[in-house]
Amino acid sequence: MAESLPPPPPANIESLSNSVQELSEKRYNEVPQRYIHKGGSSGGIICASAPLLDVPSIDLSLLISPSPAGVNELKKLQSALNYCGCFQATNHGMSNIYLDKLRQVSKEFFALPMEEKQKYGRTADDIEGYGTDSVLSEHQILDWTDRLYLNISPEDKKRLEFWPENPQNFRGVLEEYVMKLKNLNEFLLKAMARSLNLEENCFLQQYGESESASIVARFNFYPACPRPDLALGVKPHGDASAITFLLQDKEVEGLQVLKDDQWFRVPVVPYSILVNVGDQVEIMSNGILKSPVHRVVTNSEEERNTLAVFFIPGSEMEIGPVEKLINEENPRMYKTVKDYVSIYFQHYQLGKRPIDALKI
């Protein structure tokens, strides 16, 4: 019946909307052109029913143990990161109640009225704050996501004006989470080095002092999307970080990882933290530990909330393959780079892999 059909979107809808949430609330059956992925071998049809990836689970409490179980877990870590670049961390020291609280503050923030969220709104020439991702090129395909992007470290890059005061415990809960992740980040950089039979500080030395390294939090909110076959929550990318910690939605799947040219779904494991290698650890490990190309698919039924925290080496640090990993059989794969993030975004928004620019 005519009355039940949604109104057609106005032609200029893309320029009117700076939030995907608002777009989705209008309940159109179509998505605007600028969100549509076309072409490619799959003909632009995004497949949400990809096979499930068997993401290894790693018990962090075992990684420092000299026992046979500990040695075995370290081997498992190395092979997981070589196989798919990520693992589900268990025994990470954070309680279920605490992780639920973290998810809750994120949900509450995105559920606030638009006017309230816009108090923390990103401005046109800035990355930080609430809103959609920056549009850097007219060819850029837009992502079906609103996000809150916050610099957490170094201290002088922290801009509290973007940190929500509502919900009232938002700032405290985030600070506490990042304090815990800082320890995990150091712990894992050491474990990764040991897993490759390297001196345990060699990745940490490249990563730099925690005062100069940067930590960024990205709260992702993916509204339900009328055309999951055409739009992506986040287009394919590898992370610019050394290590990324992703707290997935407890119920709704959406993340996919590319492996051997095929997309795989990453399962939801409610109280594990998904850890993935970023491009900078792939570079340091001369390509042995892989930064997985991943994307987020949408669905037409449910919204999805995730929190990604990126640990990024200080911009003055030289990042390059550790000498001990280079030999005749394994020649140097990457050039040494400083301030990788600055070359990253331009490539990324054009759908290219920034790390390829460093290949030898």
Q: What secondary structure, in 3-state letters, does the chain show?
A: CHHHCCCCCCCCHHHHCCCHHHHHHCCCCCCCHHHCCCCCCCCCCCCCCCCECCCCEEEHHHCCCCCHHHHHHHHHHHHHHHHCCEEEEECCCCCHHHHHHHHHHHHHHHCCCHHHHHHHECCCCCCCEEECCCCCCCCCCCCCCEEEEEEEECHHHCCHHHCCCCCCCHHHHHHHHHHHHHHHHHHHHHHHHHHCCCCCCHHHHHHCCCCCCEEEEEEEEECCCCCCCCCEEEEEECCCCCEEEEECCCCCCCEEEEECCEEEECCCCCCCEEEEECHHHHHHCCCCCCCCCEEEECCCCCCEEEEEEEEECCCCCEECCCHHHCCCCCCCCECCEECHHHHHHHHHHCCCCHHHHHEC
Q: Distance (Å, rounded) from C-alpha 161 to C-alpha 259?
A: 40
**With binding defined as CB under 6 A, does residue 234 bind ligand OGA?**
yes
Nearer residue to ligand OGA within complex by CB, 326 or 343: 343
- Give the tokens for residue 90: 């268990």
Q: How far is the CB of 128 from Ni ion (least distance, A)?
A: 17
Convert residues 239-258 into a mask of x (bound to ligand OGA by CB under 6 A) and - (unbound).
Answer: x------x-------xx---
Q: How far is the CB of 304 from ligand OGA (least distance, A)?
A: 7
280 makes contact, choosing from ligand OGA, Ni ion, none, with CB < 5 to 8 Å by partner type, with none
Nearer residue to ligand OGA within complex by CB, 239 or 303: 239
333 makes contact, choosing from ligand OGA, Ni ion, none, with CB < 5 to 8 Å by partner type, with none
**With binding defined as CB under 6 A, does residue 220 bind ligand OGA?**
yes
**With binding defined as CB under 6 A, does residue 206 bind ligand OGA?**
no
Considering only residues 301 to 360 of the shown chain, the ones binding ligand OGA according to CB under 6 A are: 306, 308
189 makes contact, choosing from Ni ion, ligand OGA, none, with CB < 5 to 8 Å by partner type, with none
**With binding defined as CB under 6 A, does residue 88 bind ligand OGA?**
no
Q: How far is the CB of 249 from ligand OGA (least distance, A)?
A: 8
The correct pick among 284, 296, 312, 355 for binding ligand OGA (CB under 6 A) is 296
The correct pick among 103, 265, 290, 294 for binding ligand OGA (CB under 6 A) is 294
Give the largest Cα separation in the chain, rounded.
71
Q: Distance (Å, rounded) from C-alpha 211 to C-alpha 334?
A: 26
The correct pick among 218, 235, 265, 290 for binding ligand OGA (CB under 6 A) is 218
Q: How far is the CB of 182 from Ni ion (least distance, A)?
A: 19
Nearest residue to ligand OGA, by Cβ distance, number only? 306
- Give the tokens for residue 118: 């816009």
Q: How far is the CB of 152 from ligand OGA (least distance, A)?
A: 15
220 makes contact, choosing from Ni ion, ligand OGA, none, with CB < 5 to 8 Å by partner type, with ligand OGA
**With binding defined as CB under 5 A, does residue 282 bind Ni ion?**
no
Q: How far is the CB of 248 from ligand OGA (least distance, A)?
A: 6
Convert residues 216-255 into a mask of x (bound to Ni ion by CB under 5 A) and - (unbound).
Answer: -----------------------x----------------
Bin 103: left if φ > 0, else alpha if -120 < ψ < 50, else beta: alpha
Q: Which residues bind ligand OGA (CB under 6 A)?
A: 218, 220, 234, 239, 246, 254-255, 294, 296, 306, 308
Q: Which residues bind Ni ion (CB under 5 A)?
A: 239
